[in-house]
Amino acid sequence: MRKRVPPGVSLLSWATGVRWFGWGLFEALLPVFLFSFAHTYAETGLLSSIYNIAFMLSWPLAGMLADRVASKTIIVAGLLLYPFISISYFLAGVSGFALFIVIARVLNGVGYAFDSVGRDTYFRAHTPPKSIASAFGYSNTVTHFCWIGAVLLSMLIVPFVPLHWLFLAIIPTVIITIFMVLRLLPDHTEKFKDGLRKAVSGGVYIGLLREMRSWSTGLQLSAVLTFFTGFIATLAEFFIPIYAYVQGASLPQVIFISVILNIPQLFGTWLGRIADRNHVKSLLAGLGCVCLLLAVLTFSQGYLWQLVVVFGIGIVLELIDLAGDGITTHLAHPRHYGRISGAMEGLGDLGSVAGPVVLGLLLDKAGMAFTVWSLAGVVLVLGIVVYAARASFGAVAAKQ
């Protein structure tokens, strides 16, 4: 598959994989780390959401810049914040002060906004239209291969090394990533300071609202899907590991849940090729499977069933994401890839903000079963809406 994607996409995928390796050494236990500072699901959700809020405030600017400035410049600007993120997490673990957590989450949100928007923009601008989902899937395969390798390694390291020391692994891996990204050829010639000045003078948030009002029905529906995908993912990525830990799972077992959730990303190339055949049918099939998997979780909440459900949700969310990437790219104007990439990243993160808060409150007040059934109902309604409005994706079907 590497031969089927542009060289720049392959290089950027592996560069991101190097950074994700350093991140993977601790990320599986990050929910538990945050939980140790908050002690309730709702408070942990709020602490987690600091990252998402910072991300949402940053991605409009990143998106506007990505349409003017070279993608690699946008990416490097975000990566330069990661050493400070590493140090902040480390100091939080050493001192026990939640303030350092707040600083780390804010910097993480800003840094990842620039990194992810720049990366998505580069992929959309340098990949043939019929292979968009496949290219994103290839990147997911590469990055999660590196991430899962690091997570498996962390299972051997965690019993002997305090968690806060693992945060320092971010620094060397992000330095390597920066040098790899700098090898990309520039796709815009405008200087960063000039692009920043024009983006700010044009009104970042006003320009964003103007842009979103002009979207077609298909793009608007794709935006809604992106939001709810981020919302749904919160349950599997954030709360099921904490719930398992509270129910008596060991730290290696908690880590293994995250491994199982991300193994489907290794099939991103294959799933992307499926999504490229018919984006709309892939969306509907994915949403239907999410409903079934959530129903299974309500009947049996043992550790083994949690692994099964998490793996299944990982598969279908990957398919939904890739199908959405394909639809978005086909419906968007090429000159607006930067702001579209930023908008979709931001809406997904808005779902990740709402998820920890809403689901955290439901879990504290009503328990896991009621929360899961409620989420299944939301997904069912979303699937009905997509089916009823499927004609809005007609342009995509015609191109395929």
Q: Which pLDDT score is estimated for 166?
A: 92
pLDDT for the residue numbered 400? 43
Best CA proximity match to 256, nearest among 318, 312, 310, 313: 310
Other beta carbons within 10 Å of 134: 25
HEC string for 326-383? HHHHHHCCHHHHHHHHHHHHHHHHHHHHHHHHHHHHHHHHHHHHHHHHHHHHHHHHHH
CB 132 within 8 A of CB 337: no
% of the chain beyond a pLDDT of 70: 86
User: Between 85 and 160, where is the model more confident?
Assistant: 85
Beta bridge partners of 69: 190
**CB contact at 8 A, 272 and 133:** yes
Q: What is the pTM of this model?
A: 0.69
Confidence of residue 83 (pLDDT cuts 50, 70, 90): very high
Q: Across the chain, what does the average pLDDT equal? A: 80
Question: What is the per-residue pLDDT across 342-364, written as a single tens digit (0 to 9) for each?
Answer: 677 667 777 777 777 787 788 77
Neighbours of 246 (CB within 10 A): 11
- Tally the domains of the chain: 1
> What pLDDT shows up at residue 314?
83
How many helices (H) and strands (E) would you count in the chain? 19, 0
Q: For the domain that residue 250 is a member of, what is the CATH number?
A: 1.20.1250.20
Cα–Cα distance measured from residue 368 to residue 308, given in angstroms and rounded to the nearest whole number: 17
What does each C-alpha distance from 19 to 46, 87, 266 come to in angstroms?
26, 16, 17
Q: Report which of residues 346 and 396 the model is more confident about.
A: 346
Mean pLDDT of 304-332: 81
Q: Tell me the residue range of the domain where 353 lies.
A: 2-399
Q: Quick one: which of 392, 92, 138 has its CA closest to 265?
A: 138
